[in-house]
Amino acid sequence: MLQLLKSLTETDGVSGDEGRVREFIKKEISPYVDKMITDSMGNLIAVKKGSAENPKKVMLDAHMDEVGLIITHICDDGMLKFGVIGIDQRVLLSKRVMIAGRVPGVLGIKAIHLQKRDERNRVVKADDMYIDIGARSKEEAEGLVSLGDYATFTTECEDIGSGRIKAKALDDRAGCAVLIEVLKDNYPDDLYVNFAVQEEAGLRGAGIAAYRINPDIGLALEGTTCSDVPGADEHMYSTVMGCGPAISIIDRSSYSSKDIVNGLIDAAEDAGIPYQMKRTMTGGNDAGMIQRTHEGVKTGVVSVPVRYIHSPAAIMDVTDFENTVSLIKEFLKKGACCK
């Protein structure tokens, strides 16, 4: 599992540029599925037939894309201006990036010695930054990069502390890895597993896939905010690292079906799998689009707690990931999700 997470997180795939991630997932899941479809948006839909006499249609979803940058302008001095895709601009300064998978760069700003007093005392905005690729001129830079190229962070996946990993893109390659592991087993109902595109750009891929699948229920797998850190009040902890997968009731995009929430809780308690309820109502995910497809779809959300999502480096407890895999398998094997 750890090698799978390493390979997934170190494969670049900003929203709108998920091709490399999709090809990797195709190779991983091909022995375990009956059919794979890549739709017009770039979603990868894997179909795995169930064993029940009258199987229901269950859609599982995790998004392939990650936050990052897109090149919008090449300056006369060879510096690159960029747009932000889903990332918190406060964490950008001085980070190392890779553009188009081949050109290294560093995010920079005017030196502090040249800044005015008011400039030193405010958060640096992305509009004031640039990417330095070492080019001496616009012509030299144009020989290396093009407008519309994507930039990703160069964070490697590695162990940190005891039983935890540090990586980029755990939102939502952790969810993708969960679904890959889930597909290795068999279930009573038909699974339509969607590896979605463009979630970070507005949940765009999942809605198209859900319309095509028209499922009986939908379940989104996410890497969600883990806010058990200094400066956060305990009652505002969204999730707590090491306490198991988080089951959502409501967020800004969706309201989970009580049947699915109760089914997930029953599956966890019957199997002795630790779990937690997501405590905050912030954020959103692909369940918001799946829920509103056709005449409406019963949906649920299960998330792996991840610290520092939407940043160049995030941290995840491996046991939370493993228990998420176990919970989804138990839930699907019961077949209770479609009763």
3-state secondary structure string across 110-132: CCHHHCCHHHHCCCCCHHHCEEE
φ, ψ for residue 266 (rounded to 5)? -60, -45
The DSSP annotation for 125-162 comes to PGGG-EEE-S-SSHHHHHTT--TT-EEEE-PPPEEETT
The separation between CA 61 and the C-alpha centre of its own chain, rounded to angstroms, equals 10
* DSSP helix/strand/coil, 8: helix
φ, ψ for residue 334 (rounded to 5)? -70, -25
φ, ψ for residue 122 (rounded to 5)? -130, 160
Would you name the residues annotated as active-site residues? 199
Nearest residue to 175 via CA among 88, 285, 253? 285
**CA–CA separation, 32 vs 167, rounded Å?**
27
Residue holding tokens 């190229």? 149
* DSSP helix/strand/coil, 225: strand
**CA–CA separation, 222 vs 202, rounded Å?**
15
